[in-house]
Structure 1
Amino acid sequence: MIIDLPSTTTSQVNSKLVQLREEGGAVTLGRVLTLVIVTDDGAKTEDAVDAANDASREHPCRVIVVARGARKAAPRLDAQIRVGGDAGASEVIVLRLYGELANEGASCVVPLLLPDTPVVAWWPNEAPPVPAEDPIGQLAQRRITDAAAEKNPIKALEQRRASYTPGDTDLAWTRLTLWRAMIASAFDLPPYEKVTEAEVSGESDSPSTDLLAAWLAAYLKVPVKRSKAARGEGIVDVRLERRSGVVELARPDGKVGTLSQPGQPERRVALQRRQVRDCLAEELRRLDPDEVYETALKALGKVVRGRTAVKSTAASRKQAPAAAPATPDAGATSSGPSPKAAPVKATAKAAAPKTATPKGSAPKGAAPKAASPKAKDDGAADPKAAKSRAKASKSKAGS
């Protein structure tokens, strides 16, 4: 049911809400938060309301739409109340503000806020430079923006980085949830190796691609390159270099992704581009600051841009030519010399005792021979003969 209240006041809107609640039996206690949508009046307003209605089925709330109209018109407030099937699991209040009243959205919102419930502000299109300093942003615990919906998404993302305040978030970050989950799951399988470098490719004006590259740079602490994809929408491909090979997650068609890594079969995963209503419902699940998003924003400056490839020690080592195999010997295999064979052989040779080789003896390396008869006659090998000669010499000297 849709009820129009042209040229009205916030007091009259509140009175009508109480009347509808008494007639329909809906109670305020069924609402868990107040969602304030700030946008310009136009065709995109209905798209934002539809997304809020779908998200309200998971988070029953009161939706207040601040639709700013023509600034040159006479000051006027046109309200519209939607309940029942036209409002999902929420109650929708559309406030169309004209003239000087268009800049007083916060004053019109305050009387309609649900008591003792959190307030979330959402700018589905153009957002203020500093959402936390906006009059409506000051009323909210969470402030949701969407850099992808702005005229210059990359510049808008840089503005989010410069103006970040705890409680800020962006739907460009929410669209990365499935990508981050799939990349993290790839490291649950062996081999458990460190990433040496990474590359993320996507559309040139995709803020989600920049945030994904910054997230990898912040937590992997490796060089990350952000490049433009030849085809595809949004994020197209993520490549992670490891010693054993490349881990790649590619989604060229925007619907199905393929995860490939060395030693594992390719896996096809559902990786369809997320709609606004899904991202909004996810952001409404938490009302505390998102520290991971903050870390990713701060790491945007670490991302390498351009066509120049990111070089790493592992990549240069991988491209180095292999050494030519040597002739196999006692310490080498048929595939090449063993690096440990030479030192072991040299050590054994150094430890062997040196013996003088008598003249005329066998060549070096031949088996040792028994003592010659001449050496035996000299008494070098027979102790009894040496003793007899010693006695004979003594008796001769005494005579």
Structure 2
Amino acid sequence: MKIDLTDTTASKINKALVEGRRAIGTPAVGMVLTMVIVTDEENAYDAIKAAEEASHEHPSRTLVVIKRHARLRDRTTSRLDAEVRVGSEAGAGETVVLRTYGEVSDHAGSVVLPLLLPDAPVVVWWPVDAPEAPAKDSLGTLAQRRITDLYAVDNPLEVLDTRARTYAPGDTDLAWTRLTPWRSMLAAALDQARVKVTSAAVEAEADNPSAELLARWLEARLHVKVDRVVSEGPVVTAVRLGTDEGEIVIDRPEGPLATLTLPGQPSRTLALKVRPTSELIAEELRRLDADEMYAIALTGEAPKENA
């Protein structure tokens, strides 16, 4: 069910949500968090679709903030339009698409605040155009978890260094989330081999932010210098860990399968697919505390308690 509201207010949107739930016989209980997506019109469809798919694992109220530019003659117009979706139109929760015009766009936090689920955690996701310091953004200050994506920027390694300077507990990035299967396999391989790593290399396409985060994480955890090797991709293609007994190698040149090689053991084929955005978001929503491993990979040190 969809309800369109033009030149509306937060109270009218809340009323529409109640009316929509009554019309389809769905209660508000069961939603575990509020997901705020800040995006543009071009990327809104894909972001909403990913959030709705993730909502089957984490039922949530999804608030989509799209800042629109008024026409030149209407540049002083200040308006809020909304599209309320409930039932099958909104996954396992409910979705409100907010389009802001004029001065309202500069006060998105005030627009969103009355629409948050009471006593529920808040997650903010910027699929594109994330602020330089997410924790200081007007919407970021409302959230326990703030999700960005270095794959959506033109100079990911430069932005990565900026994120390191502005990091606050609760920040995370989908470039890091994409590495979960790699990190799990590497940890399992080291548990099996039980050898001291003396050198390391990460192979990936040029300027890949996931590869840089993986290299920084390995340096922090293994206390060895990690070489960055440029490959044809796509994304991360191999990790090589040198030991006195031989190399530990995870190699995935292309496709969903990787080869794991341990010293003195036959090679094994493992599943290591590139996961869709909906799976990445669902993973991030499973934990809402600070991701210390991301902080270590990003900054090279664990976050301070009162940072």
TM-score normalised according to structure 1 size: 0.73
Displacement of 1:254: 4.0
> What residue number does 1:244 align with?
245
The amino acid of 1:114's aligned partner reads L
> What residue number does 1:274 align with?
275
> What residue number does 2:305 align with?
none
> What residue number does 2:63 align with?
64
Displacement of 1:188: 2.6
Task: Give the structure, 1 or 2, with the largest relative contact order (CA under 8 Å, sep 6 or more).
Answer: 2
**What pairs up with 1:1-399 in 2 under 5 angstroms?**
1-40=1-40, 42-70=41-69, 72=72, 73=75, 74-190=77-193, 192-229=194-231, 231-299=232-300
Distance in 1, matches of 2:14 and 2:173, equals 31
Distance in 2, matches of 1:132 and 1:145, equals 11
Displacement of 1:239: 0.5
Ranges in structure 1 where 5+ consecutive residues have no aligned partner: 301-399
Larger Cα Rg: Structure 1 or Structure 2? 1
SS of alignment partner, residue 250 of structure 2: strand
Displacement of 1:263: 1.1
Displacement of 1:96: 0.4
SS of alignment partner, residue 28 of structure 1: coil
CA contact (8 A) 1:232 1:254 kept: no
Distance in 2, matches of 1:140 and 1:111, equals 14
CA contact (8 A) 2:17 2:86 kept: no
Identity fraction in percent: 51
Q: Supply the RMSD in Å over aligned alpha carbons.
A: 1.3
The amino acid of 1:51's aligned partner reads A
SS of alignment partner, residue 61 of structure 2: strand
1:95-127: CA deviation from partner (whole Å, max 9, x where unpaired): 001122111111110111111111111111111
TM-score normalised according to structure 2 size: 0.94
Distance in 1, matches of 2:29 and 2:91, equals 16
CA contact (8 A) 2:5 2:83 kept: yes
The amino acid of 1:276's aligned partner reads T
Distance in 2, matches of 1:299 and 1:271, equals 26
The amino acid of 2:62's aligned partner reads V
1:1-31: CA deviation from partner (whole Å, max 9, x where unpaired): 2221122222211111111222222222211
Displacement of 1:90: 1.1
Displacement of 1:204: 1.2
The structure with more strand, counted as a fraction of residues: 2
Ranges in structure 2 where 5+ consecutive residues have no aligned partner: 302-307
SS of alignment partner, residue 36 of structure 1: strand
SS of alignment partner, residue 211 of structure 2: helix
